Structure 1
Amino acid sequence: MNDKVQEKLSILADAAKYDVSCSSSGGKRKNENKGLGNAEGMGICHSYTEDGRCVSLLKILLTNYCIFDCAYCVTRRSNDIKRAAFTVDEVVNLTINFYRRNYIEGLFLSSGIFKDSDYTMERLVRIAKKLRQEHKFNGYIHLKTIPGASEDLIKEAGLYADRLSVNIELPSELSLQALAPEKNYGQILKPMGAISRELVHNKEEKKLFKLAPNFAPAGQSTQLIVGASAENDKQILHLSNQLYQDYKLKRVYYSGYIPVSNDNRLPVLATPPIIRENRIYQADWLLRFYGFGVNELVNDFFPNLDLEIDPKLAWALRNRHFFPVEINAADYELILRVPGIGVKSAKKIVSARRFTPLTFEHLQKIGVVLKRAKYFITCSGRSLEQKDYTEEVIRRKIIFGENSYRSALVKQQLDLFQQVG
């Protein structure tokens, strides 16, 4: 790799780290003394397949030049940063060379917008096409679809990429107009709809013709920025739920806003809202795999998720009338709502109790987190907690731990409060 390409790689890999549509390791271990591998915290990210395998991807931008001036974006037109752009062949050669050295198993490619959407999208497609056709590259390819690109280019991209994604970025049209006035929801939702329709069409085509070409077999995803605008968690989760339903997205990724400029349209944040981002991810998981509805997790009375505890525990504490759940009799759907019980554990419980009544010892072996679940379950009528604790007491016991020093202080404060009361 020559110095010029290496400099481009440093600039464009660093710029790509703000896109969270695949998970990054966050490692910073450099390769010294002729060792093996390199994990400098940019350039290579880790994504996960449906069967749990970890896949390393070269994560770069084609360019950080951009015609748009979005307030929240590090590559915005008015930002005074060093600019760079790869050629099509440079990206292809980097991917192949890194793959041959066993650094990566695939490519995550996004881009700023050179001249217009089609001009940029056409280059992204050429890279994927060249990798597939000329180099017979069978690794994973994730392409970012450029908002406003033509439907024909999007269809062609899906023939070579495993996954396509369109970043919706802000949770409302109003915020998009305020922070990125050159964009609109129509530009973003139109390619999303085109990808969704093509995925449905391809599925039907595959039923009729076994040799029909695949179209984006890993589906499509998007990214929402959390904290750059004033929307609450209720608005964000309602939008995500709508995207899952209307466009059959595989994932909505959430990115806690990182201040990249002094634009007065943006909030002043001391640190990125990482805990809030994490809680939204947990709520998203509950919507997709645990059967929860958005209004059960957030509503007009609780428009934002609790930052102290996870959304499942918060729901359980607000809905004590559903509990305790009798493990040996309750439906799978209700067991799944118990804090400390995940999907795998709930399935094991329903399967195992057909052969013998389950005890708390059984549950512990199955993988149930009893320090959470014990406040919400019984086994054959028996409870591990005989006291009828209040919501606040359970909350504090779980947060601070049963036997910790912090828990002892909380107990002391509660006893004092009861004496005064």
Structure 2
Amino acid sequence: MQLIEKLSILADAAKYDASCASSGAPKRSSEGKAGLGSTDGMGICHSYTPDGRCVSLLKVLLTNFCLYDCQYCVNRRSSDVPRARFSPEEVVTLTLDFYRRNCVSGLFLSSGIIRSADYTMEQLVRVAKLLREVHDFRGYIHLKTIPEADPALIAEAGRYADRLSVNIELPTDKSLQILAPEKQIGSIKQAMQTIFTGEQTVLNEPRAPRFAPAGQSTQMIVGADDTDDSTILHGAEALYGNFKLRRVYYSAFSPIPNSPKSVPLAAPPLMREHRLYQADFLLRSYGFRANELFAGPGDLALDIDPKLAWALEHREVFPLDLNRAEATLIARIPGIGLRTTERLVELRRQRKIRFEDLARMRCVLTKAKPFFITSDYHPQQAESTSVLLREQLRDRPQPQQMGLWG
């Protein structure tokens, strides 16, 4: 098989892994073809370096042969998809060729499991080692970790990769036992712990060798089982707390050709994935807790974003006087973000905040108006009814992908 044929198969097979891509990526589909560089086809994805730069990565699998038969995976053992396999040297050649052509700034490499977990992990590490030590490659490298591999191999991977990721795959142990019985939640979390330990060693011992400076991430598949959003977000919160993950990525289940009956025949609404990303952002950046976003079991609302949903459920907190309120509460006003909150706090040290200031800062005033007070503005009483507000502020269907906060 020619190298370009392998690239077509193995780059396309890698598109289902969202753990290095943004939530704004186009719909992932297992039908049809797309050209090199399309995020829903083969080739190139985007990630972020530790200093916040967006970089383009060659995104491929080492192989889509796999010993496992995970029911949600297009590359499962029983699937009839075309198969291919790169040698480590071929991946190195491709990465360097794309890099020299200024098409990519690095590599995202994952793999199906071949021979054994240790053998597969050895092959992944060999790619990174060749790039770093033989070719003096200083671009970004993201390696997918094989959970069942020897911790020593995972530790070695951290010395060459900028980021490591271990996919938790499904939100609950029960779902994993049903849909991927050959995988164990214990080994997945043990791999996460190995990476976390490596990161802590570097923090505590300044002379220790570099270890995955961009941290670790994971992916949860949404909609392959009946797990609700509350369970998913509580699980993500625990992962952030226990292993200091940089990101949890959410991937809406995509039905695959000849799907087994154990998984849904239809994909969940992509808006559900979008709402989970929004809620996750509230956990990571706004100081929300999962139990604040959910009164009990259940899913996030699809018609309003989770920040607005929280505000409508806590009318006793609002409206907030922007000239007096704490910054952490101002940031919880729908339509006002963290950067705007900082600017408002700085402004009120100089003078009273006025309504026109928020318009000048480009706040989403249609959402924010019912929830704040300024020196020259107070919301009308009619706007305080949560039912009316929800109807006025709910998201209408859009012809294109929305931004993070609409």
Q: Do these two structures clear the TM 0.5 threshold for a shared fold by scoring above it?
A: yes
Structure 2 CA distance for aligned equivalents of residues 162 and 48 of structure 1: 10
Structure 2 CA distance for aligned equivalents of residues 278 and 190 of structure 1: 29
Q: Which AA in structure 1 matches 2:327?
A: Y
Structure 1 CA distance for aligned equivalents of residues 340 and 38 of structure 2: 37
Structure 1 CA distance for aligned equivalents of residues 117 and 162 of structure 2: 21
Structure number with higher relative contact order (C-alpha < 8 Å, ≥ 6 residues apart): 2
Q: Which AA in structure 2 matches 1:299?
A: A
Q: Is the 8 A contact 1:30 1:39 kept in 2?
A: no
Structure 1 CA distance for aligned equivalents of residues 322 and 128 of structure 2: 51
Q: Is the 8 A contact 1:287 1:294 kept in 2?
A: yes
Q: Is the 8 A contact 2:49 2:214 kept in 1?
A: no
Tell me: CA distance 1:278–1:156, structure 2 relative to 1, closer, same or farther (3 Å): same
Q: Show the 5 A alignment for 1:55-134.
A: 55-134=55-134
Q: Which moved more, 1:241-250 or 1:375-384?
A: 375-384
Q: Is the 8 A contact 2:49 2:140 kept in 1?
A: no
* Partner-residue secondary structure (3-state), 1:387: helix
Q: Deviations over 1:282-333 (max 9, x none)?
A: 0000011111111110131x62100100000001011111100001100001
Aligned to 1:10: 8
Offset, 1:399 = 2.6
Aligned to 1:416: none
1:376 aligns with 2:376: no
1:352 aligns with 2:350: no
Structure 2 CA distance for aligned equivalents of residues 393 and 53 of structure 1: 41
Q: Which residue, 242, 245, 248 being the options, matches 1:252?
A: 248
Q: Show the 5 A alignment for 1:171-210.
A: 171-206=171-206, 209=207
Aligned to 1:317: 312
1:285 aligns with 2:285: no
Q: Which residue, 311, 329, 342 being the options, matches 1:334?
A: 329
Q: Which moved more, 1:79-88 or 1:390-399?
A: 390-399
Structure 2 CA distance for aligned equivalents of residues 23 and 38 of structure 1: 12
Aligned to 1:418: none
Q: Which AA in structure 1 matches 2:42?
A: M
Structure 1 CA distance for aligned equivalents of residues 324 and 231 of structure 2: 36
Structure 1 CA distance for aligned equivalents of residues 141 and 128 of structure 2: 7
Structure 1 CA distance for aligned equivalents of residues 205 and 395 of structure 2: 55
1:296 aligns with 2:287: no
Q: Which AA in structure 2 matches 1:227?
A: G
Q: Which moved more, 1:390-399 or 1:377-386?
A: 377-386
Structure 2 CA distance for aligned equivalents of residues 50 and 275 of structure 1: 28
* Partner-residue secondary structure (3-state), 2:11: helix
Structure 2 CA distance for aligned equivalents of residues 399 and 163 of structure 1: 37
Q: Which AA in structure 1 matches 2:12?
A: D
Structure 2 CA distance for aligned equivalents of residues 381 and 352 of structure 1: 15
Q: Deviations over 1:350-406 (max 9, x none)?
A: 1110101011101111232111100111102732435344212111212378xxxxx
Tell me: CA distance 1:118–1:400, structure 2 relative to 1, closer, same or farther (3 Å): closer
Structure 2 CA distance for aligned equivalents of residues 109 and 29 of structure 1: 20
Tell me: CA distance 1:59–1:400, structure 2 relative to 1, closer, same or farther (3 Å): closer
Q: Which AA in structure 1 matches 2:62?
A: L
Tell me: CA distance 1:314–1:57, structure 2 relative to 1, closer, same or farther (3 Å): same
Offset, 1:52 = 4.0
Q: Which AA in structure 1 matches 2:60?
A: I
Aligned to 2:404: none
1:267 aligns with 2:264: yes
* Partner-residue secondary structure (3-state), 1:265: coil
Q: Give structure 1 regions of 4+ aligned residues with deviation exceeding 4 angstroms.
A: 24-31, 37-40
Aligned to 2:401: none
Q: Structure 1 length as normaliser, TM-score?
A: 0.88
Tell me: CA distance 1:40–1:178, structure 2 relative to 1, closer, same or farther (3 Å): closer
Structure 1 CA distance for aligned equivalents of residues 26 and 228 of structure 2: 28
Q: Is the 8 A contact 1:62 1:109 kept in 2?
A: yes
Offset, 1:54 = 1.9
Q: Which AA in structure 1 matches 2:4?
A: Q
Offset, 1:51 = 4.5
- RMSD of equivalent CA atoms: 1.9
Q: Which entry has the higher C-alpha Rg, 1 or 2? A: 1
Tell me: CA distance 1:153–1:272, structure 2 relative to 1, closer, same or farther (3 Å): same
Q: Which residue, 381, 387, 395 being the options, matches 2:390?
A: 395
Q: Percent sequence identity over matched residues?
A: 54
Q: Which residue, 7, 21, 24 being the options, matches 1:23?
A: 21
Structure 1 CA distance for aligned equivalents of residues 304 and 381 of structure 2: 23
Q: Which AA in structure 2 matches 1:98?
A: F
Q: Which AA in structure 2 matches 1:251?
A: R
Q: Which moved more, 1:64-73 or 1:44-53?
A: 44-53
Q: Which AA in structure 2 matches 1:100?
A: R
Q: Which AA in structure 2 matches 1:297?
A: L
* Partner-residue secondary structure (3-state), 1:375: helix
Q: Deviations over 1:96-129 (max 9, x none)?
A: 0110010100000000001110000000000000
Structure 2 CA distance for aligned equivalents of residues 396 and 355 of structure 1: 37
Structure 2 CA distance for aligned equivalents of residues 39 and 190 of structure 1: 31
Q: Which residue, 209, 215, 219 being the options, matches 1:213?
A: 209
Tell me: CA distance 1:368–1:30, structure 2 relative to 1, closer, same or farther (3 Å): same
Structure 2 CA distance for aligned equivalents of residues 101 and 190 of structure 1: 39
Q: Is the 8 A contact 1:75 1:112 kept in 2?
A: yes
Q: Deviations over 1:171-205 (max 9, x none)?
A: 11100000011111011111101110111011111
Alignment gaps of 5+ in structure 2: 28-32, 397-406
Q: Which AA in structure 1 matches 2:253?
A: Y
Tell me: CA distance 1:39–1:112, structure 2 relative to 1, closer, same or farther (3 Å): closer
Aligned to 2:362: 367
Q: Structure 2 length as normaliser, TM-score?
A: 0.92
Aligned to 2:227: 231
Q: Is the 8 A contact 1:26 1:42 kept in 2?
A: no
Aligned residue pairs total 388
Q: Is the 8 A contact 1:166 1:192 kept in 2?
A: yes
